[in-house]
Amino acid sequence: MKIYCPVCNYEDGFEIIEKNTTIVVRGEPTKVNISYHKCGKCGEEFLVNDLDDDPLAKAFAAYREKHKLLKPNEIRQFREGYSLTQAEFAKLLGLGVATISRYESGKLQEESHDTLIKLAMDSECFRNIVSNSEGVLNEKKKQRILEQDSDQIADNFKRFITINFESKEVDEFNGFRLFDFGKFSNATLFFCKEGVVKTKLNKLMFYADFLHFKDYVLSITGAKYAHVPFGPAPTNYDLYFPLMIRQGLLAVEEIDYGGYLGEKYTSLINPDLNIFSEGELRVLSIVKEFFRGYKANEISEYSHVEKGYQETSNGKMISYRYADDMKIPVITGIKLPKIDASSVESKTRSIDDG
C-alpha cells in the first residue's frame, strides 16, 4: 500500500513514531500506544488507515481489558461453537442481529449486553435459554444443542450471578446485606402479580429496600440502586428481569404509551413468601399498597424529590443512608399476605429450582 503525506504529498522516507496517546472511551480516559508516520520531507506526523493498528480499536481493547468485557473473538467463538447464526444467537438473547454483528466485528459492547452474553456462556443458563425459546431454532437444532450441553451443566445461575456481578462485602450501598437473588426474585413476583410497568417496578423495589433499611438498618434484597433518568433503579435490573423472563418466572409485554414503548411484567408463578421475615412482608405490602394507584410517570416524579436522588448524579449509586429522609409515610392497617406453607409448596415453583 502506497503512503502519501497529507500535507506535501511526499511518498518516500517515512519514519514510524510510537506515541502514548489518551483516547476518551465512554467518558473514561484510556491510554494506548499509537504508531504515527512522520514525513521525511515536511515533518508532518499523521495516522495511516490501518485496521491492524486502529487507535480506536486499541482503545476499545484496553477498555475491555480494564473492565473485563468479552473480546469480539470470544463472542464469535461461543456462538460458532453451537453452530448458531448471528440472527439465531441474537434472538435467543433478545438482541438485534446488527448488535451481535457489531460486537463481533470490534465495536464496543454495552456492559449490560456483555453481562447477558457472559450469562449465556454459563451452560445451565444457556440450556434454559434454548429450552424456553420458541420459534428461534428448529427442533432438530434445539435438541442437538441441549444434548451437546447436557454434561456441561455449571453452578446454579443465581449463584453465578452473585459471585460474578454483586459485591462480596456489605456496605452502605447494598444496605449491609449481601445480594440475595431469591429475595430479589420473589419481591419482584410479589409486585408483578397483577402486572406492573418496568419503570414502576424499579421504584417499588427501591422503596421496599430503603423503607426496610429505615426501620431495621438492613435492606431486604441486598440490591444496589443507582440514579438513572426515570428515578432510582437496581444497578443490574437489565440483567435480572430478562433472566426471570427466560426462567419462565415473568411474562413481558410491550406497551405503547403514545410513541414511547414500555415493558410490562406479569408474574407467571406465585412468590414464595416463606423466605421473607414478617417485617419484610409488612414493608413489601406497605409499598405495594401506597403506590397502587400510581402510574409509572407519577411514581417516577415522586422518586425524583427524594434526597438520595437529588444529591446524586446520573449513574452514581445511592447510599442507603438516605433512607431516613424517605418521603413515603408508614401506613397502618395493611393486611399481610397469608402464608400457607403447604399451599405454597404445592402451587409455587421454587426460585431455587430454576
Per-residue pLDDT tens for 172-187?
A: 999 999 888 889 999 9
Per-residue pLDDT tens for 228-284?
A: 999 999 998 888 888 788 778 899 988 876 666 778 999 999 999 999 999 999 999
Please check whether residue 75 is in contact with residue 100, taking contact to mean a CB–CB distance below 8 angstroms. Answer: yes
Name which of 129-143, 202-216, 217-231, 335-349 the model is least confident about.
Answer: 335-349
Distance between CA atoms of 17 and 145, rounded to whole angstroms? 50
Per-residue pLDDT tens for 2-19?
A: 777 877 887 777 777 777
Mean pLDDT score across all residues of the chain: 82
Q: Is the pLDDT of residue 335 over 70?
A: no
Please check whether residue 150 is in contact with residue 180, taking contact to mean a CB–CB distance below 8 angstroms. Answer: no
Q: Environment class of residue 161 by beta-carbon count within 10 Å: exposed (0-12), middle (13-18) or buried (19+)?
A: buried
Of residues 197 and 146, more confidently modeled: 197
Q: Is the pLDDT of residue 306 over 50?
A: yes
Q: Which residues pair with 263 in a beta bridge?
A: 254
Of residues 167 and 326, more confidently modeled: 326
Q: Is the pLDDT of residue 224 over 90?
A: yes
Q: Is the pLDDT of residue 35 over 90?
A: no
What pLDDT shows up at residue 34? 80
Assign 3-class secondary structure to the chain: CCCCCCCCCCCCCCEEEEEEEEEEECCEEEEEEEEEEECCCCCCEECCCCHHHCHHHHHHHHHHHHHCCCCHHHHHHHHHHCCCCHHHHHHHHCCCHHHHHHHHCCCCCCHHHHHHHHHHCCHHHHHHHHHHCCCCCCHHHHHHHHHHCCCCCCCCHHHHHHHHHCCCCCCCCCCCCCCCHHHHHHHHHHHCCCCEEHHHHHHHHHHHHHHHHHHHCCCCCCCCEEEECCEEEECCHHHHHHHHHHCCCEEEEEEECCCCEEEEEEECCCCCHHHCCHHHHHHHHHHHHHCCCCCHHHHHHHHHCCHHHHCCCCCCECCHHHHHHCCCCCCCCCCCCCCCHHHHHHHCCCHHHC
What pLDDT shows up at residue 258? 67
What pLDDT shows up at residue 151? 42
What pLDDT shows up at residue 51? 47
| pTM for this entry | 0.55
Calculate mean pLDDT across residues 308-319: 95
First and final C-alpha spacing in the chain = 56
Measured over the CA atoms of residue 101, residue 104, residue 107 and residue 109, the dihedral's sign is positive
What pLDDT shows up at residue 55? 82
Calculate mean pLDDT across residues 149-172: 57
Q: Smallest Cα–Cα separation from 187: which of 244, 228, 263, 227? A: 244
Distance between CA atoms of 201 and 197, rounded to whole angstroms? 6
Name which of 95-109, 294-308, 323-337 the model is least confident about.
Answer: 323-337
What pLDDT shows up at residue 342? 39
Q: What's the pLDDT band for 42 if we cut at 50, 70, 90?
A: confident
Name which of 58-62, 115-119, 327-331 the model is least confident about.
Answer: 327-331
Q: What's the pLDDT band for 32 if we cut at 50, 70, 90?
A: confident
What pLDDT shows up at residue 339? 43
